Structure 1
Amino acid sequence: MDAAYAFPDAPQAHVGVGAAGDKEIDFSHHLSDLSNARKVSPLKGLMKYMAQPGMISMAGGLPHESYFPFEEISAQTALADSFSLTPEEKSSFGWLWTLFGGGATKKTKEITIPKRAAGGDLQAVQLATALQYGQATGLPLLQKFINEFVIKVYRPANPTTTTLVHVGNTDGWAKCVLTLCNPGEGIIVEEYTYPSALASAWPLGVRPVPIKMDGEGMLAGDLDQVLSGWDVEARNGMKKPHVMYTVPVGQNPCGTTMGEKRKKEIYAVCVKHDIIIVEDDPYYFLQCGSYIPKAQRANVRQAEDGKDAEEAFIQSLAPSYVKVDYEGRVIRLDTFSKTIAPGSRLGFFTCNPMFAERLLRAGETSTQAPCGFGQALITSLLNGWGMSGWIRWLRGIRAQYTMRRDMCMDALYDNFDLREDFRAGSISAWDGATVLVAHKKGVQAMEKYDSNTSLFSIVPPVAGMFLWIKVHVYNHPAYDELIRSGMSESLASATLTMRLWKKLVDNHILWSPGWYFATDGVEPDIPEMDFNANVDSKGMEGCFRVAYSSASPAEMKKAMDVFSEQITKFFE
């Protein structure tokens, strides 16, 4: 770590695989007024001395460990190779029935965490440390594992890159907003994005600045054009943004995934305009590749095990922004929510040491360290599996989500006539992608490409947890009538979308309306579906986000069958 950025009680910087420039770049001008005002928490600053051997500490208000009512905790954990490496090792429903409790019991391994580690090893996972007040940097063994993982998988270009734990990506992003943004500033986002990210920034007076997308995500050209032509007066006094929030893999909600070439283009624009990139990447290991229709999938997917296969898996993943970040302007957010459990509330930043130090200061007086139970259990799990075991688990999880994606897409193929149509990309986020357009089964051959008979369109996602469906409400019999009544096209579309959404809810199918994900400057929180509300400005009428992550296989099939029935009735 460069001495200029060295800070006490923080994780050690690890060395990336690339080379930074000859001169360390000072990013301190990106810090918010609140961040600049933060000091080392006085009592937290003493903790580095408490860990010194032989120190009798009477400085902090730490309860004695004998008062902790947990002598040890244990858990039965899954094995690292619990899941197949291919989505269809067996028949989908047969295998999933086993996983969902209808077949043999899965093999497990017990882990036990004592109050005190044998031999008094303070670096080992033990309850006396994990359940005590601790540093916001997390357990030492967890820090070590995360650092080694980042080096192995993300391969940072900046050799000063370091890591720091946080309480999940929602917490991580909230800390980034407080650390980087002042009231009245803007954040660059994709034109459709995760609404909770906007909801975190909105109360602070920080507003979204949307950038157009195509089938790979944010467009570098539009980003450069928006920033180059920034007019403070035309933007009601908003200064040119200096922070970007992006979900580049399995983008929520559109499902787009950005490759290395596009990331380099975006990064170059960010260097030109001095933008800090906050890379929110919870779906990174759910990169499932292109959807292949069921009839064509036989013997297509194969998977091998071993070291070569492990490296091939890493190479198959779209690289993180940290791999192209030679200047240190990326703050990456990782979470264990999608790969272990959301309730673990544990994740980590990967960024330059100066940002890590400021984020550490933000954590010391707010969340402090993540929950000791969660840290202890996950650290024991990861160390028990080892690095290769953890990567093997991630490969199995990827196969699971690939199978789930395929099951939903297969059901749509079963219920509709889906045909490729590049002209159907009326959503800019689909530009350049292969769009599938749905017609009712049994439509005469001469009518299959008639846009007036289409029901919806979809681009099968290559990563993440969501389908993004665009219903062709403009083909609804009542659409022209609503326009003639004086409604705008947007409001007419929104009105019909609400009707279909209500029909699905009445049949116990709940999907997320598309306007929740719009970044048009309208406050993102919509607590209830108000059928009298004017959603004219939302701009996402006709769209639904459909999560295939949590429903059982039978529930997913039922949901798609209900959708098929209701959308057919809807257009009649």
Structure 2
Amino acid sequence: MSPSAVDIKVQGDTAVTIPNPVDNNALAAWRKTGAVPTGTAAFSTSDMFKSPACFTRPKAKRWDHHLSLEAKSRKPSSLKGAAKFLSRPGMISLGGGLPSSETFPFEEMSIKVPRAPKFSEAETHVSGTTITAGKHDIKEGKSLFDLEVALNYGQSVGFAQMVRFVTEHTEIIHEPPYSDWYCCLTVGNTMAWDATLRIFCERGDYILTEEYAFASALETAAPLGIRIAAVKMDEQGLLPEDMDELLSNWDEKARGAAKPHLLYTVPSGQNPTGATQSAQRRQEVYKVCQRHDIFIVEDEPYYFLQMEPYKAGVPPPSSREEFLKVLLPSFLKIDVDGRVLRLESFSKVLSPGTRTGWIVGSEQIVERFARHFESSNQNPSGFSQLALFKLLDEEWGHAGYLDWLMHMRLYYTHRRDALLEACEKYLPREVTSWVPPSAGMFQWIEVPWKKHPGYAQGKSHAEIEEAIFLASVDRGALLSRGSWFRSDKHMAEDKMFFRATFAAAPTDKMQEAIKRFGDALRAEFGLKDAE
């Protein structure tokens, strides 16, 4: 079973018990501490929606010395700031250019969703609930959120109704050990990462990341002139001792830049390797970051897709309480300094097309993001925020959402097992090896390229990888090349990998693709066909 999320000790660790908001009575008591602002462009912060216990904790450290010139230069939006006066009784606004809702050609929006715990497509078709949002539900006393508000301009942190939900969710799952943490909605983690780089880095800076990292994250950094210092990995991901050695021996003159102060990591079901950092590993990484004053960006779209070890015979969690207990601790959960920015997303657990996620960090850092968003993307689509609110808050609640996350965990476990069974059946073990992932949606397959006949003929790593890739494509199976994810393109590649996902294709198609990849490997390496 995955290590427990309890008993994590770090410098300055503290423990405060919060009410159990999964219980409806406890949640109702918690929510009495602050009403949800429901007006157009209403101002809100996470402080309005935290439990009283949260405010007994110490505050985060300051990070002025890590902020970019761009981040330090941003000022609050005059127009967004003026929206706070809209809540005054009798106020007639001729200030901001907010269109009248009379001009919105959307009277109501209806969506059909699963009724917990009947989550399958077939069950939803038969017994799902149709929920409707009208244009004037707030005025009519039907809801806390409606189309009149959702389809107008809003604050850059997102609409208060969704800020409340993600704030409560964050405290339920992570219980950050400092008091002044905030949430801010984003248009997904890729956009949040782009903003992070602008807020923390100058052109020419180095950042730290795993030696194999999410290709889009690397491609976001490159045109900004940000360079990568690669940290070695093992089956658990990032190696803290290698990061410590790299930072301790940093040669500013040879590198042409100061020592990095930002770490980008995907701790759970890492993309592309599928590696998951254990609770102990996360502690060790955090302590290295404390030692070298490194700010941590944890990109965690796969956090809730944690699974039991493959073929371990361990049953999945049978209750919400057990599910919460076996979740690995996030960096946010052990962050006593406020040195972690957590990138959260609904993309992998609900749908990518919502284009809605959120960040969690100290008030100082999140405030800089809010200023950045005011003059860029502003906030996620009002349609998406309203649909998510109706589903997550009004229909499911936190308890139902946890039920859904447990369902998703089991769904991906079955898909992972199907892909691994295909690997065991169809891949030639003479030239492949892999470690079963315990989270996420990716399988990392190592191929000993120096055994390829082309190696003796002087062919390069890139040429052999290309030959295997195209042989697989010619047989109708598309896997990703490991070199696409190499974070430091200047380092020589000693190993060769291919990435397969168990997220997309139907189970039978996925197994057929692995068979075709196995056939390509046999052909390339001159092995006998499988019987």
Structure 1 residue 250, shift from structure 2 partner: 0.3
CA distance in 2, matches of 1:543, 1:402: 22
**Greater mean alpha carbon deviation, residues 327-336 or residues 226-235:** 226-235
Q: 2:464 aligns with which of 470, 491, 496?
A: 496
CA–CA distance in 2 between the matches of 1:301 and 1:260?
20
1:243-254 superposed matches below 5 A: 243-254=262-273
Q: TM-score, normalising length from structure 2? A: 0.86
Tell me by how many angstroms 1:264 deviates.
1.5
> In structure 2, do the counterparts of structure 1 residues 106 and 228 end up closer, same or farther at CA, with 3 Å as the change threshold?
farther
Q: Pairwise mapping of residues 46-61 of structure 1 onto structure 2 (< 5 A)?
A: 46-61=82-97
Moved more, 9-18 or 543-552: 9-18
Shift of 1:558: 1.2
- Give per-residue Cα distances to partners, 1:434-469, cap 9 Å, x unaligned: xxxx53xxxxxxxxxxxxxx1111111111110101
The question of 1:273 aligning with 2:292 is answered yes
Gaps (5+ residues) in structure 2?
Answer: 1-41, 527-531
Looking at structure 1, the residues matched to 321 and 166 of structure 2 have their Cα atoms a distance apart, in angstroms, of 18
Contiguous gaps of at least 5 residues in structure 1: 1-7, 85-98, 417-437, 440-453, 523-536
Match of 1:394 in 2: 405
Query: Structure 1 counterpart of 2:160, which letter?
Result: P
Separation in structure 2 between the aligned mates of residue 287 and residue 343 of structure 1, nearest angstrom: 22
Match of 2:496 in 1: 542
For the Cα contact (< 8 Å) 1:456–1:470, is it kept in 2? Answer: yes
Contact 2:208/2:231 (<8 A) preserved: yes
Q: What secondary structure is seen at the aligned counterpart in 1 of 2:341?
A: strand
Contact residue 20 and residue 326 of structure 1 kept, 8 A:
no
* 1:160 alignment counterpart: 180
**Structure 1 residue 280: deviation in Å?**
0.3
Report if aligned partners of 1:515, 1:540 keep a CA contact under 8 Å in 2.
no
Classify the secondary structure of the residue corresponding to 1:478. Answer: helix
CA 1:25 to 1:519, structure 2 compared with 1: closer, same or farther past 3 Å?
A: same
Say yes or no: does 1:570 pair with 2:524. yes
Query: Are 2:261 and 1:242 equivalent residues in the alignment?
Result: yes
The SS at the match of 1:350 is strand
Deviation at 1:512, TM superposition (A): 0.8
Deviation, structure 1 residue 157:
1.2
Q: In the alignment, what sits opposite 1:128? A: 148
Distance, in Å, in 2 between the alignment partners of 1:465 and 1:18 is: 34
Report how far residue 564 of structure 1 moved. Answer: 2.2
* 2:171 equivalent in structure 1: 151
SS of 2:89 mapped into structure 1: coil
Counterpart in the other structure of 2:426: 415
Give the structure-1-normalised TM-score: 0.80
> What do residues 313-343 of structure 1 show as CA deviations (whole Å, max 9, x unaligned)?
0111111101110010100000000011101
Structure 1: distance between partners of 2:176 and 2:266: 18
Question: What's 2:328 paired with?
Answer: 318
User: Quick check: 1:83–1:397 contact (8 Å CA) kept in 2?
Assistant: no
CA distance in 2, matches of 1:398, 1:225: 36
* Structure 1 CA distance for aligned equivalents of residues 104 and 189 of structure 2: 29
Separation in structure 1 between the aligned mates of residue 43 and residue 229 of structure 2, nearest angstrom = 36
- The yes-or-no answer on 1:513 pairing with 2:481 is yes
8 Å Cα contact 2:150-2:159 kept in structure 1: yes
CA distance in 1, matches of 2:118, 2:60: 45
Residues 19-168 of structure 1 aligned to structure 2 (within 5 Å):
24-83=60-119, 105-120=125-140, 124-168=144-188
CA distance in 2, matches of 1:229, 1:104: 57
Alpha-carbon displacement from aligned partner over 1:495-527 (angstroms, at most 9, x marks no partner): 2221111011112211110001111145xxxxx
Go from structure 1 to structure 2 and tell me whether the alpha carbon gap of 1:463 and 1:266 turns closer, same or farther (over 3 Å shift).
same
Distance 1:123 1:43 in 2: 27
SS in 2 for 1:349: strand
After TM superposition, give the deviation of residue 223 of structure 1 in Å: 1.3
Contact 1:212 1:219 in 2 (8 A): yes
Q: Does the 8 Å contact 1:21/1:327 carry over to 2? A: no
User: 1:153-302 residue pairs with structure 2 within 5 A?
Assistant: 153-235=173-255, 237-292=256-311, 301=315
Match of 1:425 in 2: none
Alignment of 1:406-445 (within 5 A): 406-416=417-427, 438-439=428-429
Question: Does the alignment pair 1:479 with 2:455?
Answer: yes
Alignment match, 2:3: none
- Mapped partners of 1:303, 1:362: distance in 2: 40
* Paired residue total: 482
Q: CA offset at residue 393 of structure 1? A: 0.2
Q: CA deviation at 1:472?
A: 2.0
SS in structure 2 at match of 1:390: helix
User: What's 2:32 paired with?
Assistant: none
Assess if the C-alpha contact under 8 Å between 1:166 and 1:347 holds in 2. Answer: yes
User: In 2 relative to 1, CA 319–106 (structure 1 residues): closer, same or farther, beyond 3 Å?
Assistant: farther
Give the conservation status (yes or no) of the 8 Å contact 1:17–1:155. no
The one-letter code sitting in structure 2 at the alignment partner of 1:182 is E
- Counterpart Cα distance in 2 of 1:166 and 1:25: 24
CA change 1:104–1:356 in 2 (3 A) is: closer
Deviates more, 1:30-39 or 1:260-269: 260-269
Q: 1:566 to 1:22 in 2, by over 3 A?
A: closer
1:332 and 2:300 aligned? no
- Asked if residue 457 in structure 1 is aligned to residue 433 in structure 2, the reply is yes
Moved more, 216-225 or 399-408: 216-225
Alpha-carbon distance in 2 for matches of 1:570, 1:67: 63
- Cα gap change, 1:380 to 1:329, in 2 (>3 Å): same
- Partner deviation per Cα, 1:111-147 (whole Å, 9 max, x = no partner): 1001011545698110000000111121212111111
* SS across alignment from 1:138: coil
What secondary structure sits across from 2:503 in the alignment? coil
Which of residues 378, 388, 391 in structure 2 aligns to 1:381?
391
Structure 1 residues 189 and 248: alpha-carbon distance in aligned structure 2, compared to 1, 3 A threshold: same
2:68/2:200 contact within 8 Å kept: yes
Distance 1:116 1:17 in 2: 35
Asked if the contact 1:81/1:393 (under 8 Å) is kept, the reply is: yes
1:505–1:455 CA distance, 2 compared to 1 (3 A): same
Alpha-carbon displacement from aligned partner over 1:62-94 (angstroms, at most 9, x marks no partner): 11000000001001112232348xxxxxxxxxx
Task: Call closer, same or farther: CA 1:511–1:519 in 2, change over 3 Å.
Answer: same
For the residue of structure 1 that corresponds to 2:254, the secondary structure is: coil
* CA-CA distance at 1:106 after TM superposition: 4.9
Alignment equivalent of 1:341, drawn from 351, 359, 370:
351
Q: 1:138/1:520 Cα in 2 relative to 1: closer, same or farther (>3 Å)?
A: same
How far did residue 562 of structure 1 move? Answer: 1.0
Paired letter, 1:11: T
Using a 3 Å threshold, how does the CA distance of structure 1 residues 16 and 273 change in structure 2: closer, same or farther? farther
Q: CA separation in 2, counterparts of 1:397 and 1:538?
A: 38
CA distance in structure 1 between the partners assigned to 2:124 and 2:381 by the alignment? 33
